[in-house]
Structure 1
């Protein structure tokens, strides 16, 4: 993709773009037309695109009502709306793909279908269970969840039941039953759903796309209304979402996309960075801006993040962002190994207690793990330490009993609001349902109090951004947040999976359970693309931390259990050499009196080939096949030039070792068994050039 474009003059409204850095300003003030913003983690992409929307509106290029901005989570859409409101923009639509499609489908349904719109079924497991029973499959909850996921992947990938078997083979799917059975379940599910006259979430996108593609008058009305489109997290679009976006555009090119291929972590659901990476192929005249200045994390966290993603294989050009830390220096990331999970969890809780005592708010601390089942030990440890916590993905904020009661009281009060400013009025109403001046000591009472206080903070935020906002406007804001599931911040340590943490950030992040079989997950083994997605997931976790970052793993699950776990391969090369849990360095085997050890599991190496590779043959190879091909091509050319057999340059085993370990300098190259100083002097620059070309 092209290099960063030069900044263009700011809008004639002084001040709007003054707080942006040169690259952000270039993106925000780019002319109408296709714009691609390659935005690394923490580089201010939401700030950039909201300023771009405000700039286009204030410059007269488009009216607020003609703007449709879409993203992937209700929280992100809510944040975008809040920022637009703070910039004085009212009327621009900022929604998730599904919320936008639902709104459009509800409007066009009577004209396209001629009847009332079918209801939306929020949980599809009952219908999937009926379909599974008809096909003769089990109906246990975990089986139904797996079947539902496969149906969702198919619909998001625009794959029909008739095409599923071939598509599953082509995409190397690992379905929970035979492909033929999955296709039958999928077909039966669609029949049961249509007979009940209900829609699932994917249907919202499918039917909206069909309405625009098949009904010219519907498409014309929509395209007359919306002229400017912004898509956030563009690396996560599915084929279905891209088709809907194309239907929205209708051949036009007033489109701004923002994304980071390094954060593609939803391919299991059909997401692909292809649309982002091929944007300039589709729009050759597009403006491309790269945002690499990281304002979120300390340089220490940024350096670690760059190492994590820099080890990725076969990175396409559009993903080669290297973050540049902009914050003052902070503490070094901490690594820790423990005998078992409870010990690890207790140590994390103790460290969190230290952070709380040092003044870090509980809501600015997160414990992140690969799978939800890992949360149990940490929930217990935090409870034992009397530390409040919230499990992200648990009970929804607006579904909590005390919040529902508070909302009912606020709705009633909005008809005849108490006196005083908005915040005082809200406090007065919430005092009737349990908001005291001082918080309770702890436990469930404190959790209820924190939830009510969070509603007050929404009022404070609204009063600060909307002049003269009163109780009716505040209640409308809460209703909108409830509908979008955009809850306010509640005090408590966050427990969340790495997938659920996408788009969030905290002052302190604990990445726990970093062991082989968990990260990368066991079922990714043998699939290099899946392994690389696991690496990107790890990268997402690292980049959630602003200042404090803790990385830990345990050698067994239970106290006294077998210590048969190995730390994640992704930690290799990250742990400082002086750290007590660091692996032996690559050159350690050359030291007098030491035995070469596996760089992954640390067991002694005895076999000559194992020593050459620097690992046991049973340990994951991490072989970069594309790099190996390039090394062989280089070796062949060099051998021909020198008129010697190819093995004289380097043996096959040495090339494999290089393709696995990917040395970045002469020190790391000479540390590979079989490569001495003379080989480095003769071929080192060439080899490193080949390796660095692969990692650029």
Structure 2
């Protein structure tokens, strides 16, 4: 078969209609020129037309024109637009980034024997890892003489970042290690002597590995252009030079331009001093302001300045707001005042969205801000018809703000697109399970219980929490059978981790455990590959391709919608991980999986991948204000504009003070006014991205010490609106389902309205894409309370064994069965470490007093208390001091109580017991309770009866009425009757009552004694049953029936589970009485909460 390539029809791009200020730039007759271009003034179009004019009308060839900018995307856009205007292809690239151009210079002019292989350019995260690897050697290696004052900082993430900034700053200023040593020797900052030594070692290591970082790349290119022959050749080659975004240049890039076009030739630079926001990268706003004096014409005059006068991005309201922000940005520097004033006062013409709209909103909490933000975006899309792609949310800090924003927006049904370089690759959700699996393959000992559970519930394992619990129970049952009671079963987590090392054992469990068995086989195969020396990329492929995860993502992409956007992001992240692995293998020459893991897990800063995958359609952009420069949308939300966060007035590089570095030495630190000016310029960039509507949001806490809006919000000059309460019903599919469900189940609604709501729910439930339902939660089969209660496959407690209970468990079950289940069985109990530690210390000392090991003396006990007190954890020093005094007072009461009981004889302290008590259930059947526990103190009274004492160190009081039926004391007395203390006395023991000794509470005002509350001995009723016996039966039947209801009791206000308790307003569900009219019935997505 023969194929013939047919050229497509070329689309001719017509010249743009330029305004007079743009035309003046295009018609500039040569020499240096500074073009001041504010937001939306058409600077890119002007630059394109100027380049085309040089080629079409002035006889230059494309190879004689050099166009420089700062990002690959901007360079590609310029290249495409220029080629389209020329209506022909060109042999040489018409535009490139500074770093790309410098790379070509180094490869072209560097001596051939310097680099035997192509240079490998390090990304910022890779450079960060290299620096931390060198620092890991520490002060003991002898290579770098770090001062003792910095030894503790060497292995910290912050010091590595500061050192990276210092090295970059040195190269931007063309400083070598010897220059840094000179500065250190001057006494300005002695620590820089070690920095100089490290810099030299760092450069040697990179040269040996054939690596180079961005700052070093520009530095070497500048050094090459200092050669007269190289400079002459380049000046002959490039007869016209254009630079976009000149305000972002650093000193090294300015020196490069001086070498290329500092002789008065045709050098046109375009920029905006109000958008100089990359000071942390070395950019200096003074560079663009000094341009007229630093790049003079051939006659020696300052370079002319032409401002672009017309903005077409936004209307008068948005323009006015942006001008008010710009008014605080400072003076014109070296630019002629008339030109600067014309630049600062543009006109608004031709905006398709009218005057525009500016809103400033404050909310009472960050949660309310996120909820209203999601609601605002959905309403803009559904009511105003703004496409998702025409909206953006901008924040000051990506690492701090983007993750919670993304979760909130996605949860509210807002499609979101986040660039892969906004967060470190290792933090991407799709990357984390692959790295976890890779770590287990490389380091098998790292497979601990937490890792095992994480892998099983990750996309690699594909199991949910219920399936993992079922697997853990099955493994515990098998372990119990295997050891036949010779030891306690191993913890579930250990069994899960062990099972992932034995695929065969998992396969024997049946089909339901197949995902776990597949994961175990994958990990085994990956371990074998690591052992065989396979590269990281191949091991990752084994993990990635061995599960249905990849197919699920492809299927999600095909279905479209929100799931497709999430799948696209996951696929992009996984591709980036594979690219990183491939690059690491190429650079490192088979250094192995362990080294790759250390590098990727060591990356602490985000960076773009080499392949730009572009922006997905149909989603709201979520990005930082820094990344938004050069972009625009119809609706822009600038979120989280809080005082203390924006402006961020912290001095950068505080330890090494890299921001003070200059060729002459150290200069004074940047004043706060300059830091504020850069933060205000960043805010200016953010607010000028909107074409139709700008919304600025912040939290204004009712608490004077809480979060407050930034001072920058007031710069907009608009009224700030305070928004209270949650948004009204969300405009989402879930919100519609929730409203329909409430209406369909509302007895107050008319029958016709309820039927209409039910019909619409049925229609939504019937919608499918392929076999997948579009709105699964519209189907009544998924609603709580519709289906009958399900029975667990495995009982809460084994039915063929006595039911293990303690006195406190019986007490908890009598108070509230649901709380007992959530705390004891579901593992939700959260005991305060402070209260627990306090009580444990007092109980230990009480034990020692009872047994005579410590003298019953308050001073002696206080010394023992002091010896261990500092080991306890408290929320604040004043809390520790308060509790210490409370503990001493409790011990004084303990001593007074102990010494005032001559009629009592102590028999035991901390007496552990376990007895089996037969229980006759309500249906007449018999069961057995195995009651276990520990009695704080057992005494005999003057009649020889046994009295159980329970020390209380909490502040909760027991009323007299409740004391008679106190379950824990009753169970202790019941246990005495069934042999719990038989070994302490001769003959049959007789219960003589039980006592609560409240050590925190005095017996009365001014009393030195503790409050003692006594429960009398048990008295059987007419059915020969005691109160404690009835309570034990009730507790046993509750657990056996597995019916754990919520019960209102005096301890509810201290309960950890109020938010999920159906008896409380905050935890009401669709099963709760009256829930149908409660706003807590469903979440914003229509699902029950």
**Bin for the TM-score computed over the shorter chain:** 0.5 to 0.7
Aligned equivalent of 2:55? 57
Unaligned 5+ residue runs, structure 1? Answer: 1-13, 402-432, 453-480, 582-696
- 2:1037 counterpart residue number: none
Counterpart in the other structure of 1:139: 155
Give the one of 215, 220, 227 matched to 1:202.
215
- Conserved 8 A contact 2:700-2:706: yes
User: Relative to 1, partners in 2 of residues 1:562 and 1:275: Cα closer, same or farther, differing over 3 Å?
Assistant: closer
The equivalent residue for 1:504 is: 631
C-alpha distance in 2, partners of 1:486/1:57?
32
Matches within 5 A, 1:660-679: none
Specify the alignment match of 1:455 in structure 2: none
Please state if 1:241 is matched with 2:253. yes
**What does 1:205-604 align with in structure 2 at a 5 Å threshold?**
205-214=218-227, 216=229, 218-249=230-261, 251-281=263-293, 282-283=295-296, 284=301, 286-316=303-333, 318=335, 320=341, 321-326=344-349, 327=351, 329-357=354-382, 358-372=384-398, 373-392=400-419, 393-394=421-422, 439-444=559-564, 447-448=567-568, 485=612, 487-488=614-615, 490-523=617-650, 527-555=672-700, 563-577=705-719
Distance 1:188 1:396, change over 3 A: closer
CA distance in 2, matches of 1:550, 1:168: 49
CA distance in 2, matches of 1:552, 1:167: 46
Checking the alignment, whether the CA contact within 8 Å between 1:78 and 1:94 is kept in structure 2 is yes
- The C-alpha deviation readout for 1:333-383, integer Å capped at 9, x for no partner, is 111111111211111111011112132222221111111111233112101
Q: Is the 8 A contact 1:32 1:61 kept in 2?
A: no
Deviation readout 1:566-588 (Å, 9 max, x if unpaired): 3211223534358559xxxxxxx
SS of 2:110 mapped into structure 1: helix
Distance (Å, rounded) in 2 between the aligned partners of 1:435 and 1:67: 48
Question: Residue 38 of structure 1 contacts residue 288 of structure 1 at CA under 8 Å; is this kept in 2?
Answer: yes
Q: Partners in 2 of 1:578 and 1:239 — Cα distance?
A: 41
Deviation at 1:148, TM superposition (A): 1.5
DSSP 3-state at the match of 1:36: strand
Q: CA deviation at 1:72?
A: 1.0
* TM score, norm. by length of structure 2: 0.43
Cα 1:182–1:494, aligned 2, differ >3 Å: closer, same or farther?
farther
The equivalent residue for 2:107 is 106
* Distance in 2 (alpha carbons) for counterparts of 1:487 and 1:146: 31
- Partners of 2:15 and 2:118 lie apart in 1 by 43
Match of 2:175 among 156, 159, 163: 159
Are the structure 2 counterparts of residues 291 and 580 from structure 1 closer, same or farther at C-alpha, using a change threshold of 3 Å?
same
Q: Compute the displacement of 1:259 (Å).
A: 0.7
State the SS of the aligned residue for 2:31.
Answer: coil
1:266-308 CA deviation, whole Å, 9 max, x = no partner?
A: 1222112333222222322634210131111222111100000
Q: Following TM superposition, by how much is the alpha carbon of 1:103 offset from its aligned partner in structure 2, in angstroms?
A: 2.0
State the structure with bigger RCO (CA 8 A, min sep 6), 1 or 2: 1
Whole-Å Cα distance in 2 between the matches of residues 567 and 512 of structure 1?
A: 11
Distance, in Å, in 2 between the alignment partners of 1:400 and 1:53 is: 44
In 1, are the aligned partners of 2:361 and 2:721 still within 8 Å (CA)?
no
Quote how far apart the aligned CAs of 1:53 are: 0.2
Give the secondary structure class of the aligned counterpart of 2:640.
coil
SS in 2 for 1:530: helix
How far did 1:194 drift? Answer: 2.7
SS of 2:53's partner is: helix
Once residues 576 and 146 of structure 1 are traced to their aligned partners in structure 2, the CA distance between those partners, rounded to angstroms, is 39
Pick closer, same or farther for the CA change 1:445–1:210 going to 2, 3 Å.
closer
**Residues 198 and 213 from structure 1, CA distance in 2 versus in 1: closer, same or farther, beyond 3 angstroms?**
same
Other-structure match for 2:82? 84
Q: Report what 2:1014 is aligned to.
A: none
- Taking structure 1 as reference, are residues 482 and 368 closer, same or farther at Cα in structure 2, changes over 3 Å only? closer
Contact kept, 8 Å, 1:223 with 1:250, in 2: the verdict is no
Distance 1:119 1:277, change over 3 A: same
Q: Any conservation in 2 of the 1:75–1:484 contact (CA below 8 Å)?
A: no
Gaps of 5+ in 2: 1-11, 139-145, 431-552, 573-607, 652-669, 724-1089
1:566 alignment partner, SS class = coil
CA distance in 1, matches of 2:361, 2:127: 42
Q: What is the DSSP-based 3-state SS (H/G/I as helix, E as strand, rest coil) of the residue aligned with 1:49?
A: helix
Displacement, 1:434? Answer: 6.1
State the secondary structure of the residue aligned to 2:627: coil
Deviations 1:436-490 (A, max 9, x none): 99752431466439999xxxxxxxxxxxxxxxxxxxxxxxxxxxx9957372554
The superposition leaves residues 175-196 of structure 1 with CA deviations (integer Å, 9 ceiling, x where unpaired) of 9x95555444434322322333
Give the 3 Å change call, closer, same or farther, for CA 114–157 of structure 1 in structure 2: closer
Mapped partners of 1:86, 1:180: distance in 2: 54
Q: Higher mean Cα deviation, 379-388 or 218-227?
A: 218-227
- Measure how far apart 1:116 and its partner are: 3.8
Residues 434, 516 of structure 1: CA spacing in aligned structure 2 closer, same or farther, 3 A cutoff? closer
Structure 1 residues 327-336 or 363-372, which shifts more?
327-336
- Aligned to 1:507, the other structure's residue is in SS state strand
